[in-house]
Structure 1
Amino acid sequence: MTLLTASAGVLAQGVIKIGEINSYKAQPAFLEPYKKGMELAIEQINAAGGLNGKKVELITRDDNANPGDAVRVAEELVSRDQVDVLTGSFLSHIGLALTDFSKQKKMFFLASEPLTDKIVWQNGHRYTFRLRTSTYMQVAMLVPDAVAMKKKRWAIVYPNYEYGQSAVASFKALLKAAQPDVEFVAEQAPPLGKLDAGSVVQALADAKPDAIFNVLFGADLAKFVREGNTRGLFKDREVVSLLTGEPEYLDPLKDETPNGWLVTGYPWYGIKTPEHAAFLKAYQDKFKDYPRLGSVVGYSSIMSLAAGIKKAQSTETEKLVTAFKGLSLMTPFGPITYRPEDHQSTMGSFVGRTKNDGGKGVMVDFRFLDGAQFLPSAAEVKKLRPAE
């Protein structure tokens, strides 16, 4: 027994623990594939000999879509499980709670998916970095096409929490700057997951907008599309829609998929790069399923941590922070860099139009936009972000 215990102890010292926190029960459409993406990355890293000679272990916890619970499980991961780094979160207000926890505890945190700009700007600090293309970046990618539509009267609909508010603030500011005569004639902000589709669609229709900016996703999006189709809200109207091209949200629309919406998303079936082909094959071989955008984010967050730990030759927080500033690595979406000035990665996004292709929603006429081209300069960031 003593021998076994001793050897187990030696092995345990040779483990790098990644603590991950997310809203698995509340947002399964995105987070089940996300978890699979993480598992694939961990498997590949360990098959290649681990990191700095140590095996990597992933410990995931559910935050019940509640910021208080997220902070409590973060505490447990740090004190009880003794994880080396923290990552995760999906909902932006929870991402902000964990960003704050990371600051208080001086604990390295890679925010994988929460999109609010505050994570790297207003609430940004030394110990938090973010992978995913932010609300500002995705809106900035859509605005040039929105301006080209030459529509004056816009209606806006968004889930009333941090992500929706952040996206709308960016859209209004960037559209107004490019097209000063724009008018915002209606705004509907239902609580997340509690959309009363009939009244929201009616209110938007009553305002007689020329175009609509939509930020709803998941079950809210499905209800909005169904009701909007029924009441003819989208007929002869341009719609610009955040995230709608992600298979997580587009696939469930099936034969209700609207045609011609301008969206950000993930046309996994049409990406012809070697790095994406390698990821697609590995994912399909392991899971017998196609990847969703969550899969790419989960995979890339673990691969980012691996690249940072390798560069730092350590999991010590201060060394990791130094390693992550300017860290570059390859992802299924091509090379990304974590900017030293705001800790935001330059991960890009696909922009295209929706198409109802025989009862299945797809993205067509899409192009990939490099995130680095849609971020403010270091001088502008200085004004947005507290000094370290």
Structure 2
Amino acid sequence: MLLRCVIVAWMIMGICGTAYSENSEPIQLLVCEVLSGAFQEAGESYLEGVEYAVEEINSGGGLLGRKVEIVPIDNTLSPDVAVQKLSEYLQKSPVKYVLSGLGSHIALALSPLAKEKKFILFTYGAEADSLTGEKCNRYFFRTVANTSMHSGALAFWMVKNGYKKVFSIAQDYVFGRAATASFKKKLKELSPSAEFLGEIYHPIGEKDFNQHIQKMLASNPDIVFTPNWGSDLILLMKTAKAMGLKTKLAGYYLNDNGSLKALGDDKAIIGNFTAENYMVSIPTPENKSFVAKFHKDKGYYPILTRGKAYMATRFWAEAVKAAGKDEVEAVINAWEGLLFSGPAGKWYMRPCDHQTLMPIWIAELVKDNPFFDHAFVGTATNIPAKFIAVPCAESGCPGLEK
């Protein structure tokens, strides 16, 4: 398949576009996200990234000459609710494009529905390997790292920095277990002498981390790996600080400003490490321009949630443009093999499993940063996809049949 390249002109959107037709039917983009409950703030932050991308698209003339319209759906972080609400919407209106955010269990529930009803489901937040592995299908696209890539980047960094004794803690659901399994596999592959001193799985929305921290203190690890997010990350870090755990954390979402702000304790933040496929501190000219424009337009920064959702939306839009028509099968064919260049580097949609290959960025949490008064990520460095991507033959995807 031919490689197609799209370079987005980040700073001129809205200047050169022709106006979309007010009389044409809008292209609907359904966003199935957590918009209530304990994780509402994270879900709304993701939605803000989608909204900014759509604002740029519409101000630049729309998509294929048509306005893009966002339809938010609150899934309450429940797979059953997500399927129910989306099914109800499908009965009222045809659906071609759905974005899934927080929760791999949500995406896993929606993916079979996408295949059955033949709409494109893509995600900026669901990372469980199985989504583009054994559960892959033609109608699902992942525009975020999978757990093998994300965990692999942290394992790569740990080995490079000499860490040997590791403890892990994760939420007890498909994503937490997949992230931990991928991490353990990659660390052992890179450093056979590394020791796993213990691993903990706890319910989403855990209320008491005391017993978990006690186990960490007793094992005395060099570093603690965690893919926790939201309130489970906040309370983990808060309890670790209160109980005197000096060991640094290496986590998926330690650059989540909402969590760090809610934590409210720089001493619990500084010195930890995080990895992501987007950070505001990526030191490229493209990202610096993007961050400056976003902040000027919105008054806040495109932190990881907003940045990831923004780029996922732009990548989808470029696939629609490449297809040249608003038809699901045409967009699928156009997206496969598409190369997208933006603030976080080059992203490639791998045709064999619809997993986006991209660099993963790693940074230390530092006191002095140009974004916030509290501690936040320092300058990011990247690990290229070639060091962490699982080959197609090993992904577990049996094939993407039409």
Q: Which residue of 1 aligns with 2:251?
A: 241
In structure 1, the partner of 2:328 is: 317
Aligned to 1:58: 70
Distance in 2, Cα, partners of 1:263 & 1:57: 34
Partner Cα separation in structure 1 for residue 219 and residue 46 of structure 2: 38
Match of 1:301 in 2: 312
Q: Are the counterparts in 1 of residues 27 and 69 from structure 2 also a CA contact under 8 Å?
A: yes
Cα pair distance change 1:122/1:103, threshold 3 Å: same
Q: Partner of 1:108 in structure 2?
A: 120
1:347–1:30 Cα change, 3 Å: farther
1:85-104 matches, within 5 Å, as: 85-104=97-116
Contact 1:257 1:355 survives alignment (8 Å): no
Letter in 1 for 2:218: D
* Cα distance in 2 between the residues matched to 1:239 and 1:193: 19
CA-to-partner distance for each residue in 1:97-149, whole Å, 9 max, x for gaps? 11121122222111221111111112111110010122211111111221244
Which residue in the other structure is 1:192 paired with?
A: 204
Q: Secondary structure of the residue that 2:356 maps to in structure 1?
A: coil
CA deviation profile, 1:236-277 (whole Å, cap 9, x unmatched): x34322221232333333324333223215552x43433323
| 8 Å Cα contact 1:17-1:82 kept in structure 2 | no
SS in 1 for 2:269: coil
The question of 1:285 aligning with 2:296 is answered: yes
1:341 aligned onto 2:348: no
How many Å separate the matches in 1 of 2:345 and 2:320? 20
| 1:252 aligned partner, one-letter code | A
Change (3 A) 1:193 1:82: same
Alpha-carbon separation, structure 2, partners of 1:84 and 1:41: 18
1:192 partner SS: coil
Q: How far apart, in 1, do the equivalents of 2:22 and 2:363 lie?
A: 49
Q: Name the structure 2 match of 1:36.
A: 48
1:6-21 equivalences in 2 (<5 Å):
13-21=24-32
* 1:255-270 correspondence to structure 2 within 5 Å: 255=265, 256-265=267-276, 267-268=279-280, 270=281
Superimposed CA distance per residue, residues 61-104 of structure 1 (whole angstroms, 9 cap, x where no aligned partner):
10011001111122233331323211122111111111121122
Give distance in 2, aligned partners of 1:354 and 1:344. 29
Structure 1 pair 174–64 and aligned structure 2 pair: CA distance change class (3 A): same
What is the one-letter code of the residue matched to 2:251?
Answer: S
Question: Counterpart of 1:53 in 2: which secondary structure?
Answer: coil
Alignment counterpart, residue 22 of structure 1, candidates 19, 33, 48: 33
Q: What are the ranges of 5 or more consecutive residues in structure 2 without an aligned counterpart?
A: 1-20
Write the deviation string for residues 272-312 of structure 1: whole angstroms up to 9, x where unpaired: 43332332233223321122111112211221221111111
Retained in 2: the 8 A contact 1:89–1:113? yes
Q: Which residue matches 2:3?
A: none
Instruction: Assess, with a 3 A threshold, how the Cα gap between structure 1 residues 12 and 146 changes in structure 2: closer, same or farther.
Output: same
Most deviating of 51-60 and 144-153: 144-153
For 1:274, give the aligned amino acid: P
Among all aligned residue pairs of Structure 1 and Structure 2, give the percentage whose two residues are the same amino acid. Answer: 27
Could you tell me how far 1:168 is from its partner in structure 2?
A: 0.3
Write the distance in 2 (CA, Å) between the matches of 1:14 and 1:217: 38
| Equivalent of residue 251 in structure 1, options 258, 261, 276 | 261
Kept in 1, the 8 Å contact 2:148–2:390? The answer is no
Post-superposition shift, 1:13? 4.6
**Cα 1:153–1:104, aligned 2, differ >3 Å: closer, same or farther?**
same
1:138 corresponds, among 150, 174, 190, to 150
1:225 pairs with one of 226, 237, 242: 237
Alpha carbons of structure 1 residues 372 and 127: separation in structure 2 relative to 1, 3 Å: farther
In structure 2, C-alpha distance between the alignment counterparts of 1:28 and 1:207, rounded to whole Å: 35
* Whole-angstrom CA distance in 1 between matches of 2:283 and 2:274: 20
Higher mean alpha-carbon deviation, 199-208 vs 275-284, is at 275-284
In 2, the alpha carbon distance for the partners of 1:213 and 1:280 equals 29
Question: 5+ residue gaps in structure 1?
Answer: 1-9
Q: 2 CA distance for matches of 1:173 and 1:332?
A: 30
Which residue does 1:366 correspond to in 2?
A: 380
Summarize the Cα distance change of 1:239–1:55 in structure 2 as closer, same or farther, 3 Å threshold: closer
- Is residue 21–residue 73 contact of structure 1 (8 Å, CA) maintained in 2? no
- Letter of the 2:173 partner, please give it: Y
Contact map agreement 1:34 1:294 (CA 8 A) in 2: yes
Q: Deviations over 1:39-78 (max 9, x none)?
A: 1211211122112222211111100110011111222333
Aligned positions of 1:154-169 closer than 5 A: 154-169=166-181
User: What SS does the corresponding residue of 2:52 show, helix, strand or coil?
Assistant: helix
| Distance across 1 between alignment mates of 2:261 and 2:385 | 25
Q: Distance in 2 between matches of 1:83 and 1:102?
A: 10
* CA-to-aligned-CA distance 1:286-344 (integer Å, 9 cap, x gap): 32112211111221122122111111112222111111101122332133121112211
Task: Give the length in aligned residue pairs.
Answer: 374
AA in 2 matched with 1:305? W
Question: C-alpha distance in 2, partners of 1:273/1:148?
Answer: 23
Question: For residue 366 of structure 1, what is the amino acid of its counterpart?
Answer: A
Offset of residue 230 of structure 1: 2.0
* CA distance in structure 2 between the partners assigned to 1:12 and 1:365 by the alignment: 46
Q: For residues 305 and 242 of structure 1, what CA distance do their matches in structure 2 show?
A: 24
TM-align CA RMSD: 2.2
Matched residue of 2:317: which SS? helix
What TM-score, normalized to structure 2? 0.86
- Cα distance 1:72–1:199, how it changes in 2: closer, same or farther (>3 A)? same
The 8 Å contact of residues 279 and 307 in structure 2, kept in 1 or not, is answered as no
- Deviations, residues 207-251 of structure 1 (Å, cap 9, x unaligned): 3333322222221222222221122222xx343222212323333
